[in-house]
Amino acid sequence: MIFCIKEALMKVLICSDSHGNMSFIQTMYRVAQQEKVDLVIHCGDNYEDAEYFVEHKMPCVRVPGTWSDYYQNSMIDNRRIETFEGWNCLLSHTPTVDSHDLPSDPDPQVWFESKNINIMFHGHTHKPEIERLSPTRIRVNPGHIKADHDRGYPASYAIMTCSSSLCHIQIIDVYTQELIDEERLVR
């Protein structure tokens, strides 16, 4: 008799830099429903925009952006580490130290290097990109959902599908649904 063991999969939608554009937040909610995601991550600007997911009973993890008053609230983590199917992920609005950081805020680069982080999710620059740093470490900016185009980039988001042995991340154009970038991590 042959047994097939199926690994658990987790699917996550990652977005950033909505800057109050609730139309795009609603679009992300619909995409999350269509993709049957388990969780939404919002990487800031604006922190309160992600409340829409919470109000609609969609699991959501968020960090504030530098333009948000919440960024100066020491009770809210500006950076946090979450683990999904064994992949350690750093969530931060900025990829580096920022002048708006609180004195207690960790340097995201130092955390990324020293805390066994596989994936750093961040926003801030509005540039959709995935940067491979090693076979098991990448930095991901899902882009922005601020406007149709901003800073020369189309509105975009990321989808992460992961199991304990594989993590696949895609950045997708909101309008065309075309793939902008993708990477896989395998262990």
Residue 4 belongs to some domain of the structure: no
| DSSP SS3 for 162 | strand
Per-residue pLDDT at 1 exceeds 70: no
Alpha helices by DSSP H, the chain: 22-35, 51-55, 108-114
> Which pLDDT belongs to residue 8?
85
Residue 2 belongs to some domain of the structure: no
The stretch 104-117 carries a mean pLDDT of 95
Residue 18 belongs to some domain of the structure: yes
Residue 108 belongs to some domain of the structure: yes
Residue 6 one-letter amino acid: K
Number of domains in the chain: 1
Residue 69 belongs to some domain of the structure: yes
Residue 151 belongs to some domain of the structure: yes
- Does an H or E element contain 62, and which? strand 60-62
Q: What is the CATH number for 103?
A: 3.60.21.10
Residue 100 belongs to some domain of the structure: yes
**Tens of pLDDT along 39-65?**
999 999 999 999 999 999 999 999 999
* Longest CA span, the chain: 62
What is the reported pTM? Answer: 0.95
Give the domain extent around 161.
10-186
